[in-house]
Amino acid sequence: MSFDIDKIRKDFPALNQEVYGKPLVYLDNAATSQKPQVVIDSISNYYSTINSNVHRGVHYLSQKATDQFEEARKNIQAYINATFSHEVIITKGATDSINMVASSFGKQYLKEGDEVIISALEHHANIVPWQMICASLKAELKVIPLNPDLTISLDAFKKMLNKKTKIVAISHISNALGIVNPVNEIIKIAHENAIPVLLDGAQGIVHSTIDVQELDCDFYCFSSHKFYGPMGVGILYGKEKWLNQMPPYQTGGEMIKSVSFEKTTFNDLPYKFETGTPNVADVIGFNKAVQYIQSIGMGQIIKYEEDLLAYANSKLSAISGVHIIAPNAPRAGVVSFNLDNIHPYDAGTIIDKFGVAVRTGNHCAQPVMDLLNIPGTIRASFAFYNTKDEVDRLAEAIITVQKMFG
Ligand code: C6P
């Protein structure tokens, strides 16, 4: 399929509306993306035709639902190039996936005095689960500092590794600032020391092609809703060798092989990590989203988004009083900035009145804001359906805000 932006925009019904009497400019895609009609239809079709529980019934509808649910797993496996479909665990989202690894890997491999490494750029979802498991096991959470350009310091990282380091958990692409982390180098260095690496791919899956075998990461976590699919679904990819050894995260139905009051035996992968009735409709909807992205091609999407981001960078940095955060770091999908003497919350509230949706605040990455000594930023986060005209609308809104604040 050729990259026809007008046609693509028509695929997303929510884009075609006015807010405050102005055409919506949706630049809050890192918070959640809009959904193409094919995804919305697939959810409605599921409930109106094959709604049924999965893996539980021999009847026609249950088998149809199970087939489509498992087809989703297989297609996602192919999309991220996992070796086995049972390495693809269906979760509620990136946060759930990271909690699953922190809790389960932690119980199996962490003990008092061990160390877990994260970076100073992380989202709370890749800080707090590690903090909790470390606190409960008396392990230590170590944080890789940043270089002056706000990229992760690989020199510092190398020096932090030692025999006590049990896992490294890093975002692929930062959500707050859009920085693309040097994950290939991090994985290589960690593996030279026989340490596994988890990548928080909540933003990475959206703005890059993911081949988990080529990356050689041990875990890769992401959410459907940021990748044009429905909310409430996510993926944990894990290498079989780890998942097999890790204990179940939660317990209940689906994850068991047999139960008696004396003893329970656990199911095989991937079901060992999947408890209770899953969100079948939305898993099927997520598969539709992945297929939709495949039909356009991630290569074309990345190229388009790079061009759009370069335009946004030059347009916004040309406005006096706009300060882009991490202007010289490699970035994808996000321009995070502040305005001289205007609180980001005030700016965002007024920008909204121009029909332009941006996110303001710490973007669930408070430690990096504290490091920068700022209360937060104004964040424009892009999708492949955004346009240069929309960037111009953002720029006009910013200039008006500056005029209002004199
Ligand atoms: N970031 C943002 O506005 P969930 O909420 O589980 O789908 O994703 C959590 C998460 C984890 N890691 C990163 C890098 C993320 O960006 C997010 C979600 C949204 O930036 C909502 S806070």
Which of 236, 263, 294 terminates a domain? The answer is 294
Mean pLDDT over each residue of the chain, to the nearest integer:
97
Q: How far is the CA of 379 from the centre of ligand 1 (A)?
A: 14
Examine the domain organization and report whether 152 and 269 are in the same domain: yes
Q: State how far the Cα of 213 lies from the Cα of 162, in Å rounded to an integer.
A: 25
Q: How confident is the model over 371-396, as a mean pLDDT? A: 98
pLDDT digits 0-9 by tens, 197-244: 999 999 999 999 999 999 999 999 999 999 999 999 999 999 999 999
Examine the domain organization and report whether 15 and 132 are in the same domain: no
204 CA closest ligand 1 atom index: 14
Question: Ligand 1 test: best mutation among 91, 123, 174, 177, most atoms within 8 Å of CB?
Answer: 123
Give how many domains the chain has, as a whole number: 2
> Quick one: what percent of the chain has pLDDT higher than 90?
97
- Report which protein residue has its CA nearest ligand 1's atom 15: 202
Examine the domain organization and report whether 258 and 400 are in the same domain: no
- 122: Cβ below 6 Å to ligand 1? no
The counts of H helices and E strands in the chain are: 15, 17
Q: Is residue 35 part of a domain?
A: no
Which of 294, 329, 355 terminates a domain? The answer is 294
Examine the domain organization and report whether 206 and 269 are in the same domain: yes
pLDDT band at 282 (very low <50, low <70, confident <90, very high): very high
Specify whether the CB–CB gap between 342 and 374 falls below 8 A.
Answer: no
Q: State how far the Cα of 117 lies from the Cα of 169, in Å rounded to an integer.
A: 6
**What is the pLDDT, as a whole number, of residue 1?**
65
- 207: Cβ below 6 Å to ligand 1? no
Examine the domain organization and report whether 174 and 304 are in the same domain: no
pLDDT band at 254 (very low <50, low <70, confident <90, very high): confident
Specify whether the CB–CB gap between 319 and 398 falls below 8 A.
Answer: yes
Q: Is residue 36 part of a domain?
A: no
pLDDT digits 0-9 by tens, 36-78: 999 999 999 999 999 999 998 889 999 999 999 999 999 999 9
- Report which protein residue has its CA nearest ligand 1's atom 8: 94
pLDDT digits 0-9 by tens, 82-105: 999 999 999 999 999 999 999 999
pLDDT band at 255 (very low <50, low <70, confident <90, very high): confident
CATH number at residue 322: 3.90.1150.10
The H-or-E segment that residue 193 falls in is none
- 202: Cβ below 6 Å to ligand 1? yes
Q: How confident is the model over 313-325, as a mean pLDDT? A: 98
Examine the domain organization and report whether 276 and 337 are in the same domain: no
- Report which protein residue has its CA nearest ligand 1's atom 22: 364
Q: How far is the CA of 328 from the centre of ligand 1 (A)?
A: 23
Which of 275, 294, 313 terminates a domain? The answer is 294
For the whole model, what pTM was predicted? 0.98
Examine the domain organization and report whether 123 and 17 are in the same domain: no
- Report which protein residue has its CA nearest ligand 1's atom 19: 31
Q: Is residue 323 part of a domain?
A: yes
Range of the domain at 223: 41-294
Q: HSE of 225 in the Cβ direction (CA atoms, 13 Å)?
A: 13
Examine the domain organization and report whether 181 and 233 are in the same domain: yes
* Weakest mean pLDDT among 250-259, 268-277, 330-339, 341-350: 250-259
Examine the domain organization and report whether 339 and 288 are in the same domain: no
Q: Where are the beta strands (DSSP E) in 197-321?
A: 197-200, 219-223, 234-238, 256-259, 264-266
Specify whether the CB–CB gap between 332 and 305 falls below 8 A.
Answer: yes
One-letter amino acid identity for 393?
R
223 CA closest ligand 1 atom index: 7
Examine the domain organization and report whether 322 and 383 are in the same domain: yes
359 CA closest ligand 1 atom index: 3
pLDDT digits 0-9 by tens, 7-35: 999 999 999 999 999 999 999 999 999 99
CATH number at residue 288: 3.40.640.10
Q: State how far the Cα of 153 lies from the Cα of 119, in Å rounded to an integer.
A: 9
Q: How far is the CA of 200 from the centre of ligand 1 (A)?
A: 9
One-letter amino acid identity for 121?
L
The H-or-E segment that residue 195 falls in is none
Q: Is residue 52 part of a domain?
A: yes
Q: Is residue 219 part of a domain?
A: yes
Beta strands 88-91 and 234-238 are antiparallel
Examine the domain organization and report whether 357 and 389 are in the same domain: yes
Q: State how far the Cα of 231 lies from the Cα of 405, in Å rounded to an integer.
A: 37
